[in-house]
Structure 1
Amino acid sequence: YLNSFSGPIWYVKTDGSDTEGTGSSSSPFASIQSAINFATTDGDSVNVAAGTYVENVNFRGRNIKVVGSDSSNTIIDGNQSGSVVLFNSGEDSTAILKKFTLKNGFASSTEVFLDMGGGVLCVGSSPTLSELIIANNSTTGWGGGIQIYESNAKLSNSTVRNNSTTWLGGGGMGIQGGNGSTPKITNVKIINNSSGSGGGGITCGGNTNPVLKNVLIMGNNVGSNNHGGGMEIGGAAA
């Protein structure tokens, strides 16, 4: 619909409206996706008030900032309906996601990118992710918490916990190369994740060159007869 408001700061609250709201501070949207849909100018910001938002968010190529009130009380619940947050349209480092809990995502083989990234999926995009709690997400394939594929994403000051995969690797985090991935992981806790295959905490596939700094990998596990409870490196230059 036609909107009289044009940003550059858009607002979201649980008691807002996606049908009558404009996205202004006095007339916020009810969903994060509605704000992203209207935030078409690079550098725009989406400010999300505390609360739980049951939705699956797609940045749609927007190089914008989406920021919650606080990572512990601003929650995006994926409702077991795919990746909680998706970056797959060439977003760069100025696409920022900050201060959220991302939970209850489930990526299965019926999804557009098959079974990758229950909490966050980065495909051919390199966003900046910080101050996140990525928890209680799952997938049948790679990256229960977060999957980084052909991506130079940055993840910092975050916790990846209690995520799982049932078939492939990377209960907490999967990093796969394809045409190359060089993500930077800094000040991150990867704890109590599980994988049906290798890499209970992290799995790094071929043609990847991840840089890990001050990363705690603890309490992760894999299924029987598999390997890399904490971290699996298969052809990566970690």
Structure 2
Amino acid sequence: MKKITKIVLSLIIVSIIFTGCSPKEITGPDSDDTTEPVANTKPVAKIKASQFVKSGATVVLDGSESYDADNDPLNYSWQILSKPTGSDAALSSDNTVNTSIAADRDGDYEIQLTVSDQKSSSTPTTFTVTVLPFSGTIIFVDASNAQSGEGSELNPFKTIQSSIDFASSDDIIKVSQGIYAENIIIPGDKALRIFGGYQSGNFNNRNISAYVSRIAGNGTADVVSMEFSGGDGVRIYSKIDGFTIDGGTRGVSYTSLGNGGKIDVEISNNIIENNRGLSGNGDYGGGILTRGVSPIIIRNSVRNNQCGKGAGITVDLRDTTESVFISENIVENNIGHSDHGGGVYLSVRRGTVSHNIIRNNRIGETAGYGWGGGMIVDGGGADYTNDIYLTLSHNIYTGNSAPLIGGGLFIDEGANVRMERELIFKNSSDRGGGAGLYVDGPRGSTFAKTTLSYCTIADNVGADGSVGNAVYVEKDSVVEISKSIFWNNYSNDNADFNVADDDSTLSIGDSTYQTGKAGTGTFNETACSKNDPEFVDSATGDYHTTAVMDRGVFGN
């Protein structure tokens, strides 16, 4: 008996060692533990994009229709599986909800998206973008041509406007280096692609830094403008790329007359600077204005412009079936004279704003009051659904200022916004709080909320006696925060967060913050840390963390 007992005991011990259970955790038919594991549903990846595009277009790949039945947050993984021979195309980002690719060769580009919920990955989905062969005419412009020219490579037009007037829809215009003292107007029915930066006398050599094509306005109108007039069933694509654009009341303006048609506009690789003269409450977009069009605004430097609101960039697109894509721009030193949006003003419902640097912009220059020194997202109190939202990802906001609240970023009028890996630092609110992030209502839908994940908001400074210089929330707003850092945001009463009224809610979990909460609203906290994140070098803007914190390492 003793030998049998020893054998049985040994088997139980071995079982415990290999299963990692204690004897109490061993369950069987007679166990009282009836809890069953919760099954995880694999997420589903979906790609939305234009299937057929023109040569030279930037294609936006939209993964926002991917979903998880368990409502778990998703991670995105994009790949180019194949592309035409000789293509140098690359994804602008491989891990954001939306990305883009510059279609530099005719042919097929096969794109793959996989999404995961940290428990399982979706079945990969693919999408093929086909770049159609160019079928139009290439028209040439060279300011150094001694005569007016007729648009050929050997005898180019002398002015850009001459080439536009001559062109037909779907033509390409190539502009050589030089100063073009003109305000150009693109007819409302012409789909044109206009490229600057070619060497004078050699249109096979393009370098937009070495061969500067400058369009210099006369200070009385927009430098580049188009009022799209297409009717129902019409959709066109227009592009301006590789110019220095200055000296206008506004730099670039693409607007729709609302006749029922659609236009996709790409504004890329330009320097848009020193445009000013519009300072009223109803004046928007000193550098770039798009209204009622679907814009792709990428790799521009938008600087030293002035306007009433949105002095750097203004995008107004309230159509919930259309998206915006704004990426890799530098928006700096722009001045708003009115009260909303010094650098960027977005009145949009869906799309992606990613990898931009928004710095040293200010609002309220003439008004003396205002909100949103760096950027404002105006939700317009829209009736959002859960799948209609704007993604803000990997942007940097720094050195921006507002007289009242929202020095860095202002989310207004119940916008539905998802923030991920955003860095907001060293912004200021001169006479109020909310120097980092300000979220305001009212909401037009209970689906509208602002979420933050893996964000860092640090070293923002409000006025003496101000509150909530990390996050300021009011007027029926909902903010949900996870895995983020809030540190060294100046406030006399030691409150990183101000939930100002009873109708607003801020929930924070798995995050690090330094101080507490002010206001009468609801504040929910779960599993947070107050350990110093030990930034690598905040003096130079390096907010990577070096600390091993008890709740993990968060932020950019």
TM over 0.5: yes
Matched, 1:187 2:355: yes
The question of whether the paired residues in 2 share the 8 Å contact of 1:14 and 1:51 is answered with no
Paired residue type of 1:97: I
CA distance in 2, matches of 1:88, 1:23: 28
Decide whether aligned partners of structure 1 residues 228 and 109 sit closer, same or farther in structure 2, where only a CA change above 3 A counts.
closer
What's the secondary structure of 2:263's corresponding residue? Answer: coil
Q: State the match for 1:155 in structure 2.
A: 326
- What is the rounded CA distance, in whole Å, between the counterparts of 2:347 and 2:170 in structure 1? 28
Q: Secondary structure at the match of 2:392?
A: strand
CA distance in 2, matches of 1:23, 1:8: 10
- Give the AA of the match of 1:52: R
> What secondary structure does 1:92 align onto?
strand
1:86 aligns with 2:214: no
How far apart are residue 9 of structure 1 and its match?
2.8
The percent of aligned pairs where both chains have the same amino acid is 29
Is 2:290 the partner of 1:122?
A: yes
- Report the aligned-residue RMSD: 2.8
1:155 Cα deviation from its structure 2 partner: 1.6
- Tell me the equivalent position of 1:54: 216
Task: Confirm or deny: 8 A CA contact 2:268 2:300 kept in the other structure.
Answer: yes
The code of the aligned residue for 2:169 comes to: T
2:409 pairs with 1:231: yes
269, 287, 292: which one aligns with 1:99: 269
* One-letter amino acid of the structure 1 residue matched with residue 339 of structure 2: L
User: Which one of the candidate residues 1, 10, 22 is aligned to 2:150?
Assistant: 22
1:212 and 2:374 equivalent? Answer: no
Amino acid at match of 2:393: K
1:154-184 CA distance string (max 9 Å, x none): 222211111110112111100125xxx3242
1:221 counterpart letter in structure 2: S
Residue in structure 2 matching 1:76, options 237, 242, 245: 245
- The equivalent residue for 2:140 is 11
Q: Which is further off, 228-237 or 201-210?
A: 201-210
Whether 1:132 aligns to 2:304 is no
Letter in 2 for 1:216: I
Amino acid at match of 2:374: G
Find out whether 1:222 has 2:402 as its counterpart: yes
Residue identity opposite 2:245 in structure 1 = I
Q: Kindly tell me: are residues 119 and 29 of structure 1, through their superposed partners in 2, closer, same or farther at Cα, counting changes over 3 Å?
A: farther
CA separation in 2, counterparts of 1:212 and 1:33?
A: 37
AA of the residue aligned to 1:230: G
1:147 partner SS: strand
Q: How do 1:24-39 residues align onto structure 2 when only pairs under 5 Å count? A: 24-39=152-167
Shift of 1:82: 2.2
Distance (Å, rounded) in 2 between the aligned partners of 1:25 and 1:97: 25
Which structure has more relative contact order (CA 8 Å, sep 6+)? It is 1
Contact 1:43/1:65 (CA < 8 Å) preserved in 2?
Answer: no
Map of 2:511 onto structure 1: none
- Given that 2:136 and 2:170 are in contact with CA atoms closer than 8 Å, whether structure 1 keeps it comes out as no
Q: In structure 2, how many angstroms separate the alpha carbons of the residues matched to 1:97 and 1:28? A: 24
In structure 1, what is the Cα distance between the partners aligned to 2:194 and 2:155? Answer: 13
Q: Once the 2 structures are TM-superposed, how far is the Cα of residue 21 of structure 1 from its aligned partner?
A: 3.4
Partner SS state of residue 84, structure 1: strand
CA-CA distance at 1:237 after TM superposition: 1.0
Identify the residue that residue 237 of structure 2 maps to in structure 1.
63
Paired residue for 1:71?
none
Q: Secondary structure at the match of 2:397?
A: strand
Secondary structure of 2:237's aligned partner? coil
Where does the alignment leave 5 or more consecutive residues of structure 1 unmatched?
1-5, 69-73
Q: Please state how far the C-alpha of 1:24 moved relative to its aligned partner.
A: 3.5
Taking structure 1 as the reference length, the TM-score comes to 0.78
Instruction: Give ranges in structure 2 of 5+ residues lacking alignment.
Output: 1-134, 173-192, 198-211, 218-222, 229-235, 365-369, 383-388, 418-556
- The CA distance in 1 between the partners of 2:169 and 2:140, in whole Å, is 15
Tell me if the contact between 1:173 and 1:203 (Cα under 8 Å) persists in the aligned partners.
yes
- Per-residue CA deviations over 1:29-68 (Å, capped at 9, x if unaligned) read 4554544444442474322122321131013436223221
Q: Aligned partners of 1:16 and 1:88: how far apart in 2?
A: 32
Inter-CA distance 58–186: structure 2 relative to 1 (3 Å threshold) = same
- Following superposition, the deviation at residue 7 of structure 1 comes to 5.3
Residue deviations 1:110-152, cap 9 Å, x none? Answer: 7xx9400000001101121211100011112x20101111253
Q: Which residue of 2 aligns with 1:3?
A: none
Aligned length: 216
Aligned-pair CA distance for 1:85: 0.4
For residues 415 and 345 of structure 2, what CA distance do their matches in structure 1 show? 12
Deviations 1:164-218 (A, max 9, x none): 10112111100125xxx32421221111111111111101112474322211111
Checking the alignment, whether the CA contact within 8 Å between 1:22 and 1:29 is kept in structure 2 is: yes
What TM-score does the superposition give when structure 2 sets the normalisation length? 0.36
CA contact (8 A) 1:174 1:203 kept: yes
User: What is aligned with 1:41?
Assistant: 169
